[in-house]
Amino acid sequence: MTHHDTEVGHSIDELLLDDAAIAEQVLKIKDERNAVILVHNYQRPEVQDIGDFTGDSLGLARKAAETDADVIVFCGVHFMAETACILSPGKVVLLPEMRAGCPMADMADAPGVLRMREENPGAMVVSYVNTTAEVKAVSDYCCTSANAVPVVEAVPSDTVLFVPDRNLAAYVACRVDKKVVAWDGFCPTHENITPTQVIEAKEAHPAAEVIAHPECRGEVLDLADHIRSTSGMLDAALQSDAEEFVVATEVGMLYPLGLAAPGKHFYSPSPEPLCPNMKLTTLSRVLWALQTLEPRVTVPEETRVRALGAVERMLALG
């Protein structure tokens, strides 16, 4: 067996052909269903390639709100599909792999947020979009990594309860003139990126600038030249004069960065930060979802309406 062969005896070329054939079927049935495929920047490259739109949580929420498709296929994680349900009632929202959750979103629950409110009278709740619909339903505003600072700034209270990411909360707290009380949650993928890993990557690529996601720990953000949402990273790479970048976020981000700035070089810290949930969605799963219109994500109407308030207040800020 050569290194071009897999253990089950298929050549890599055959497997690629399979992918191409599946992608062709996906695009055909997508038109028949009047479906739109929304894809997060961390998804597998072949899934990004079949998307109508690839982006960060904010961009994806905006697309979900404005689409006139009948079916939204969400290639991302559960809270993203829920946000699409919140914004687009009446549409079928498919999450091709129902096990694709977000451990950080699961760290916060609505009763806990209500308790936090009771302990901090007069404070308003800003929940990161990485939350369940139930948590959004007991929040005043929603935000994403792209707009967390302006949203917290705009909230009409001097104290803000920020749920669930303590790292994003600390990043915001240094940039606003308010008290920020943080929920004690975090993203395991970003929490595991250490300053030493980033310094080692910098030593291997001395000319590189560091781009980091604000879900990283403060000690990692201190080493960053640019702190951006995933789509913001594309702008940072394009606008910078640097030719090389160490990218402190989930490794899937290297694919859209390479497409956006083909002449530049992007490196992950080692070991590569991986979000296993983001990698669960495959081309075959997308095809199966379009064929069967399952699995669907739904949000009970009462929860949806209350959660919509928080999401709409965010979107209204522009």
- Which residues are at the interface with ligand SF4 (CB under 6 A)? 77, 102-104, 130, 187, 189-190, 215, 250, 275, 277-278
- The least CB distance from residue 76 to ligand SF4, in Å, is 8
Partner touching 160 among ligand SF4, ligand 13P, none, CB below 5 to 8 Å by kind:
none
| CA-wise closest residue to 246 among 189, 186, 197 | 197
DSSP 3-state helix, strand, coil percentages of the chain (rounded to 5)?
Answer: 45, 15, 35
Which C-beta is closer to ligand 13P: that of 247 or that of 287?
247
Site for ligand 13P in 98-117 (CB under 6 A): none
> Across the strands, what pairs with 92?
71
Partner touching 41 among ligand SF4, ligand 13P, none, CB below 5 to 8 Å by kind:
ligand 13P
> Across the strands, what pairs with 33?
none
Partner touching 57 among ligand SF4, ligand 13P, none, CB below 5 to 8 Å by kind:
ligand 13P
- E strands of the chain, at which residues? 35-40, 53-55, 71-75, 92-94, 124-128, 141-143, 159-163, 179-182, 209-212, 226-227, 244-248, 265-267
Residues in contact with ligand 13P, counted by CB under 6 A, come to a total of 11
User: Six-digit token pair at 203?
Assistant: 């030593």
Work out which of 187, 193, 251, 307 binds ligand 13P, going by CB under 6 A: 187
DSSP letters of 28-66? Answer: HHHHHHTEEEEEETTS-HHHHTT-SEEE-HHHHHHHHHH
**Terminal-to-terminal C-alpha distance of the chain:** 56
Which C-beta is closer to ligand 13P: that of 120 or that of 150?
150
User: Six-digit token pair at 102?
Assistant: 């977000």
3-state secondary structure of 95: coil
Q: Any contact of residue 134 with ligand 13P (CB under 6 A)?
A: no
Site for ligand 13P in 206-235 (CB under 6 A): 213, 215, 229-230
| CA-wise closest residue to 116 among 127, 104, 106 | 127
- The least CB distance from residue 104 to ligand 13P, in Å, is 8
* Enclosing H/E stretch for 73: strand 71-75
- The least CB distance from residue 118 to ligand 13P, in Å, is 29
Window 4-43: contact mask with ligand 13P (x via CB under 6 A)? -------------------------------------x--
Which C-beta is closer to ligand 13P: that of 145 or that of 303?
145
- The least CB distance from residue 160 to ligand SF4, in Å, is 20
Contacts of 189 (CB under 8 A, 6+ apart): 215, 250, 273, 274, 275
List contacts with ligand 13P (CB under 6 A): 41, 56-57, 130, 144-145, 187, 213, 215, 229-230
